[in-house]
Amino acid sequence: MKRILKLLQSNKKTSASIAKERLQIIISHERTKKDRAHLLESMQQELIEVIARHLQLAPGSVKDQIKLDLAQNEGQSVLELNITLPDDELVAAAIE
């Protein structure tokens, strides 16, 4: 009888093991989200350096000049990049 009871108990998840599972999932999710934010930030910085070598950029902070977004849609990730140039620079680039 005792053995049967033990067997039944071992099949049932303890609340601690549920807690551990939930924590592992949420923490790994939060860590990747933070890593991704870091990745975007450093990419943004590097991209701005490369672009500034070739084009005149709009004045202001990096965040005003370039917008980087990583969106996830059903199995694919889209990296969206928006760069703001001053008006005359746009014209000059178009003529070239």
Partner 1 sequence: MAHIIVVTSGKGGVGKTTSSAAIASGLAMAGHKTIVIDFDVGLRNLDLIMGCERRVVYDFVNVVKKEATLKQAMIKDKRLENLFILPASQTRDKDALEKEAVGEILDELKKEFDYIICDSPAGIEKGAFMAMYYADSAIIVTNPEVSSVRDSDRILGILASKSQRAESGAEPIKEHLLLTRYSPARVESGDMLSIDDVMDILAVPLLGVIPESQAVLKASNSGTPVILDEQSDAGQAYGDAIARLLGEDRPLRFTKMQKQGLLKRLFKQKEGAAV
Distances (CA, A) of 46 to 39, 53, 66, 82, 84: 11, 11, 11, 14, 16
User: Closest approach of Cβ 96 to partner 1, in Å?
Assistant: 41
Strand partners, 13: none
Q: In the range 8-27, which residues lie near partner 1 by CB under 8 A?
A: 14-17, 19-20, 22-24, 26-27
Nearer Cβ to partner 1, position 33 or 81? 33
Cα–Cα distance measured from residue 93 to residue 51, given in angstroms and rounded to the nearest whole number: 13
Point out which residues bind partner 1 (CB under 8 A): 14-17, 19-20, 22-24, 26-27, 30-31, 34
